[in-house]
Amino acid sequence: MKPVIVVHGGAGRIFKEREQGSRDGVVRAALRGYGILKQGGSALDAVEEAVRSMEDDPHFNAGCGSLLNEKGEVEMDAIIMDGKNLDSGAVSAVKCIANPIKLARLVMEKTKHMLLTDHGAHLFAQAMGIPETPGEKLITERSWERWKKNLEGLQFQDYLGTVGAVAIDSEGNVACATSTGGLSNKLVGRVGDTACIGSGGYADNHSGASSTTGHGESIMKVVLARLILYHMEQGMSPEMAADTALDYMKTRVGGLGGVVVINSSGEWAARFSTKQMSWATVKDGQLHYGIYAGERHTKSVDEALASESGGF
Amino acid sequence: MKPVIVVHGGAGRIFKEREQGSRDGVVRAALRGYGILKQGGSALDAVEEAVRSMEDDPHFNAGCGSLLNEKGEVEMDAIIMDGKNLDSGAVSAVKCIANPIKLARLVMEKTKHMLLTDHGAHLFAQAMGIPETPGEKLITERSWERWKKNLEGLQFQDYLGTVGAVAIDSEGNVACATSTGGLSNKLVGRVGDTACIGSGGYADNHSGASSTTGHGESIMKVVLARLILYHMEQGMSPEMAADTALDYMKTRVGGLGGVVVINSSGEWAARFSTKQMSWATVKDGQLHYGIYAGERHTKSVDEALASESGGF
């Protein structure tokens, strides 16, 4: 099996001045994940690395750069899932750690559980020796300004920038990972789709993997990631499954969003019903990426890696 | 549409001396829910009342009677869902409240969110004026003994007693509700299937509703409640959908559990792959209930209500 990775940097509205940073961020994440796959690494390691790369990038609403809750704090959700055995790990409403996706992976591998929340997740992070990151280090000027404007009653389209990835490795295993700071000015303790298996992500070697972004509550209502895999189980391509599910979410509950999808043959899709979604994929040594509907740039991986080492 | 309610008091192993209490508890819950439906009340009100009744009953692992986490505390999860618009409310890792299902309903109706966790759920409960119940008032001798024996290394089958209900009302609306204290001696902050939409419950007027119980992590891996509704969407009866999904959970991830299911025509099923599950249903003025596979007692509702007022 030829390895493939597809990443997204969130569906929603991306301001003009942030477009280049978003493109660079998803390209970098896809290249890093692909690097792992090319060396024979697992889909699980690849999606974790891609998401970690975007958590560390302040352009995205995950890790550093997360949007703030009503009290001006960062509270994050993340999930990772292994398509081989349907094993998964997730965390919800976690604070003061740089990489929630790494904590989610530890929940999967070091506990009998699948989801740890808030205070318990904090205790678990301590027990695992994960260093505490002061909350203010995760806050960017952009997230703080958005929070303040929302407090003043200005409404933004707030579900921007959840990050995620799906991959298939040389052994044919699929995996997904998703990470988010959630909605700006959300209630303390609000958990969105990302931490909920089937909503924020789902992976099953028998059909494929999906990672979602968009209006979390709508995604939860239709259990979007699992819905897409059902459509693929019924014979749809990743693109048709994604479009069918996104269309259903729009008509049934009025929600917009985006998804990256891969099937067990390595076919992929990056689709969205929002105005924009930053995405990137690498397959057969070719990088593709875009932000707007219909936008698709293509480069060889070698060329992209050369410009990465120069440009990033 | 003739109203129907189906409730469960948890799948697992029910000790001989607790069988009668479990039977009485599910019968009482089903009768209370049905009372609401008969008066023209909504499926949502009926499942909330049925689950509240079992949360208040110390025979079940929900509300008072919840199993304890590793620190000997009660931490509860609950979800409610409205099949009309796919709206849902849930809470995870909540402490010191008598009825998590009521808090889940408030999340659905009073916020823009669908899931509140731990500290944030506590703040929300305070803001809603819900009285605080001292944690020790939710602890029973049984839950404490089980916790202590587990600490000493004795292994119980610990996923006993999650409660749930599904119903269809005279307008053809379906709803589900599920509530649990989770696994005994779980890590602090462990959230199971109950709080995760699609896993612990799912309701959609187009197909039906389902509430699940059993090994939470296995239920999450297969997103069990949503899976059952997919099978019904493909034309299966509630019974066949339940059995197919429970069989898949057993063969794919080695998990046991139980479900109550209703479809949009009012056909119902109460099925389990564990040794026992306490369940009760009321349809067409007839009460049915049981605990063991193949066990099914039938009474008229009038007769059951007469013995309830005497016997309970």
pLDDT digits 0-9 by tens, B109-154: 999 999 999 999 999 999 999 999 999 999 999 899 889 888 887 6
- Nearest CB among B93, B216, B221 relative to A117 is that of B93
Q: What is the mean pLDDT of chain A?
A: 95
User: Is A117 labelled a binding residue?
Assistant: no
Q: Which residues of A are catalytic?
A: 162
- Looking at residue A312, its pLDDT comes to 44
Could you say which residues from 141 to 180 on chain B have a Cβ atom under 8 Å away from some Cβ of chain A? none
pLDDT in the model for residue B309: 65
Grouping H, G, I as helix, E, B as strand and the rest as coil, residue B172 is: coil
E strands present in chain A: 4-12, 76-82, 87-94, 115-117, 163-168, 174-180, 201-204, 208-214, 257-263, 268-272, 276-283, 286-292, 297-300
Q: Residue A18 corresponds to which tokens in the numbers above?
A: 């942030």
Average pLDDT in the B220-241 region? 98
Question: Does B312 score more than 60 pLDDT?
Answer: no
Q: What are B151-210's pLDDT values in tens digits? A: 887 665 555 679 999 999 999 999 999 999 999 999 999 999 999 999 999 999 999 999
- The pLDDT of residue A256: 95
The pLDDT confidence band at residue A154, using thresholds 50, 70 and 90, is low
Residue A105 has pLDDT above 60, yes or no: yes
Output DSSP code: residue A136.
Answer: G
Does B226 contact chain A (CB < 8 Å)?
A: yes
Position B151 scores a pLDDT of 85
A86 touches chain B (CB under 8 A): yes
User: What average pLDDT does this structure show over A2-27?
Assistant: 93
Q: Inter-chain contact B197–A221, Cβ cutoff 8 Å?
A: yes
Q: Between A86, A120, A216, which is nearest B189 by CB?
A: A120
What pLDDT, on a 0 to 100 scale, did the predictor assign at position A235? 97
Asked if the C-beta of A85 comes within 8 angstroms of chain B's C-beta atoms, the answer is: yes
Instruction: Tell me the per-residue pLDDT of A259-309, one tens digit each, with 9 for 90 and over.
Output: 999 999 999 999 999 999 999 999 999 999 999 999 999 999 999 999 876
In tens, the pLDDT along B204-225 reads 999 999 999 999 999 999 999 9
Chain A touched by B186 (CB under 8 Å): yes
Per-residue pLDDT, averaged over A152-179, amounts to 86
Going by pLDDT thresholds of 50, 70 and 90, the confidence category of residue A311 is: very low
CA distance A276 to A286: 22
Q: Which residue of A has its CA nearest to B85?
A: A253
Task: Quickly state the pLDDT bin for A152 (edges 50, 70, 90).
Answer: confident
**B251 marked ligand binding residue:** no
CA-to-CA separations, B155 to B71, B151, B265, in angstroms, rounded: 17, 9, 42
pLDDT of residue A309: 65
Active site residue B244: no
φ, ψ (nearest 5 deg) of residue B203 = -145, 130
Q: How would residue B239 be classed by pLDDT, with cut points 50, 70 and 90?
A: very high
Q: In A, which residues are within 8 Å of B150 by CB distance?
A: none
Size of interface A-B (CB pairs under 8 A): 151
Give the residue carrying structure tokens 């690849």. Answer: A46
How many angstroms separate the CA of residue B295 from the nearest CA in chain A? 33
Contact B163, B54 (CB under 8 A): yes
The answer to whether residues B274 and B290 touch, using CB atoms and an 8 Å cutoff, is no
Whether residue B16 is predicted with pLDDT greater than 90 in this model: the reply is: no
Q: What is the mean pLDDT of residues A33-40?
A: 98
pTM greater than 0.95 (yes/no):
yes
Question: Is the pLDDT confidence value at A161 over 80?
Answer: no
Determine the distance in angstroms separating the CA of A49 from the nearest CA of chain B, rounded to an integer.
23
Question: Residue A103 contacts by C-beta under 8 Å, 6 or more apart in sequence?
Answer: A78, A91, A94, A97, A121, A124, A125, A128, A130
pLDDT at position B273 over 60:
yes
User: pLDDT class for A12, splitting at 50, 70, 90?
Assistant: confident
Report pLDDT for B15: 83
Q: Are B76 and B95 in contact (CB under 8 A)?
A: yes
Question: Measured between CB atoms, which of B120, B221, B253 is closest to A93?
Answer: B120
Q: What is the pLDDT of residues B75-93, one digit of tens each?
A: 999 999 999 999 999 999 9
Give residue B51's pLDDT. 98
Residue that the structure tokens 């990972």 belong to: A177
**pLDDT exceeds cutoff 60 at A156:** no
Beta strands in chain B (DSSP E): 4-12, 76-82, 87-94, 115-117, 163-168, 174-180, 201-204, 208-214, 257-263, 268-272, 276-283, 286-292, 297-300
Using DSSP bridges, classify how beta strands B268-272 and B257-263 pair: parallel, antiparallel or unpaired: antiparallel
Q: Which residue has the tokens 């119940």?
A: B133
